Structure 1
Amino acid sequence: MFEISLDLVLILIAAGFAAGFIDAIAGGGGLITVPALMLAGVSPAQALATNKVQAVFGTATAIISYARRGLVDPRTQWRAALVAGAGGVLGAALVSYLPTDKLRLILPVILIGVAAFFALKPGLNDLDRRQRIVPAIFTACIVPFIGFYDGLLGPGAGSFYMIAFVTLAGYGVLKATAHTKLLNLFSNLGGLLSFALIGHPLWLLGVTMGAAQILGAALGARLAARIGARLIKPLLVGTSTILALRLLWDMF
């Protein structure tokens, strides 16, 4: 039976706040919360499941903040959100049956590629650019795969949504960030649905961290909306790089 002291709860609340702040801007909040939960003594399966509980609060808050500023209209994105949710359900349901260890081997390379793209590609700003594929194809061919990955593994899913919106949908960096959050929410909800059946999340702890996520996400979304790509790009590069290095450390 997992037992936790007051000081650990306070540390996890602080981790939830920091994760909500960073995730609302650039994604990668799980980089903070999953290790924090495991260091607190939560088993890996329960850490992943509990992380989904608290992440839902942060992503929902970020969506509301971006929608209030007119950066995203959830009514136009609900189909893609449902597809992301279905992908999350399937990914989490198959987590025990697929070779996730082998998938983790290539993940650092992909994340470093994402960091390099946002760090080095010229002209990445908050202005929209040429759309390469229509929304229906984006929803059918891109969204389910990232949603599936989010349910299966999770780290970096927000970065993958971001790069897809920028390179394929032609969105500016701030608009891509805002639209990423709704898909992230539903793939998190889908993953949580499966984990609730197989992973036994720690609901009270997850909700407690989620309350801190709300505060962090509200602050992060407000700053991202005000500053835009000048804030989002460096944080996205930093979180992708740190996540890649952490995965490499875990391997070796």
Structure 2
Amino acid sequence: METYIIILLCIAAFFAGFVDAIVGGGGLIQTPVAIILLPQLSVATIIGSLKIPAFSGTSFAAYQYLKKVQMNWKLLSIMALVAFFSAFLGSNLLTLVHNDFMKPLLLVVLIFIAIYTFTKKDFGIHQAKEHSLKRQLLLGVIISVCIGFYDGFIGPGTGSFLVLAFVSVLGFDFLHASANAKMVNLATNFGSICLFILKGKIIWAIAIPMAICNALGGFIGAKLAIKKGNTFIRKFFLFVVILTLIRFGYDVFF
């Protein structure tokens, strides 16, 4: 493989890790780049290979959050377990079928997210703990099943969807949502990695250098998010959602 392709993939991985550490959605950067630069590979092989840098970057970002932000470990342990198996099943389905039919649905969802986040100025600025423990766990399981399966099956935007779910459904502020979402995202990535390794879909010559760059981006992004706080994360989240909206809109209409 040409050296320039590896360099471009590594640059994309760095920026993906940076964005993903703050609000998620790093896959929306490195996945399109990889598909363009590696047209000879199947989508399943590309997604499988990209799960390694995604896991690496998320790990470094999660470590930074763990040092500064309090985690809800009881909720996270259940969500992570459910998300792992959901992502494993989603990735297995990816190796069997085509997934383009999901894009129009995601386009509608993202339009709603962008409008809601922009118009509701206090969205995700303060924590709003309104659920009983039982209800919180139930909602957490539902989120993990849906988003975990999505991450295994399609992938890009998972981190943003997790942040949104933690804020809008579970009542977290953006900082705590980003931190807790990283832990669940680790589980979804690991579930997919296990499946893709079993299926022999990972190209390590691509995955390892991208993983190093993604981890560096995740490290820097997490530090910036912790330093700047909720208002910055909210604005960055809205920015990423709009870019995601444009990206999916392009896929659907062109």
Q: Answer whether TM exceeds 0.5 for this pair.
A: yes
Q: What CA distance in whole angstroms lies between the structure 1 residues aligned with 2:229 and 2:200?
A: 37
| 1:186 alignment counterpart | 187
| 1:214 alignment counterpart | 215
1:120 aligns with 2:119: yes
CA displacement at 1:136 relative to structure 2? 1.7
- CA separation of 1:70/1:246 partners in 2, compared to 1, >3 Å: closer, same or farther? closer
> 196-205 or 237-246, which moves further after superposition?
196-205
| 2:163 alignment counterpart | 162
- CA separation of 1:132/1:74 partners in 2, compared to 1, >3 Å: closer, same or farther? closer
> 172-181 or 71-80, which moves further after superposition?
71-80
1:228 partner letter:
G
Q: What CA distance in whole angstroms lies between the structure 2 residues aligned with 1:116 and 1:52?
A: 30
1:11 partner letter:
L
| 1:80 alignment counterpart | 79
Whether the 8 Å contact between 1:28 and 1:158 is mirrored in structure 2 is yes
- TM-score using structure 2 length: 0.91
Segments of 5+ residues of structure 2 without an aligned counterpart are none
CA displacement at 1:176 relative to structure 2? 0.5
| 2:226 alignment counterpart | 225
CA displacement at 1:97 relative to structure 2? 4.5
Whether the 8 Å contact between 1:128 and 1:172 is mirrored in structure 2 is yes
- CA separation of 1:55/1:139 partners in 2, compared to 1, >3 Å: closer, same or farther? same
> 45-54 or 220-229, which moves further after superposition?
45-54
Report matched runs for 1:230-249 at 5 Å. 230-249=231-250
1:100 partner letter:
N
CA displacement at 1:181 relative to structure 2? 0.5
1:116 partner letter:
I
CA displacement at 1:53 relative to structure 2? 1.2
CA displacement at 1:199 relative to structure 2? 6.0
Select 1:25's aligned residue among 15, 22, 25.
22
Question: What is the identity percentage for the equivalent residue pairs of Structure 1 and Structure 2?
Answer: 31
| 2:202 alignment counterpart | 201
Report matched runs for 1:63-78 at 5 Å. 63-72=62-71, 77-78=76-77
Q: What CA distance in whole angstroms lies between the structure 1 residues aligned with 2:19 and 2:227?
A: 15
| 1:111 alignment counterpart | 110
Whether the 8 Å contact between 2:124 and 2:168 is mirrored in structure 1 is no
> 125-134 or 147-156, which moves further after superposition?
125-134
> 41-50 or 151-160, which moves further after superposition?
41-50
Q: What CA distance in whole angstroms lies between the structure 2 residues aligned with 1:154 and 1:246?
A: 14
Q: What CA distance in whole angstroms lies between the structure 2 residues aligned with 1:113 and 1:52?
A: 28
1:35 partner letter:
P
- Tell me how large the CA RMSD over aligned residues is: 1.9
Whether the 8 Å contact between 2:90 and 2:149 is mirrored in structure 1 is yes
Segments of 5+ residues of structure 1 without an aligned counterpart are none
> 121-130 or 58-67, which moves further after superposition?
121-130
Q: What CA distance in whole angstroms lies between the structure 2 residues aligned with 1:75 and 1:125?
A: 22
Q: What CA distance in whole angstroms lies between the structure 1 residues aligned with 2:189 and 2:66?
A: 19
1:39 aligns with 2:55: no
Q: What CA distance in whole angstroms lies between the structure 1 residues aligned with 2:236 and 2:60?
A: 19
CA displacement at 1:170 relative to structure 2? 1.2
> 184-193 or 197-206, which moves further after superposition?
197-206
Q: What CA distance in whole angstroms lies between the structure 2 residues aligned with 1:70 and 1:163?
A: 18
Q: What CA distance in whole angstroms lies between the structure 1 residues aligned with 2:183 and 2:239?
A: 22
Aligned residues: 249
> Does the residue aligned with 2:100 lie in a helix, a strand or coil?
helix
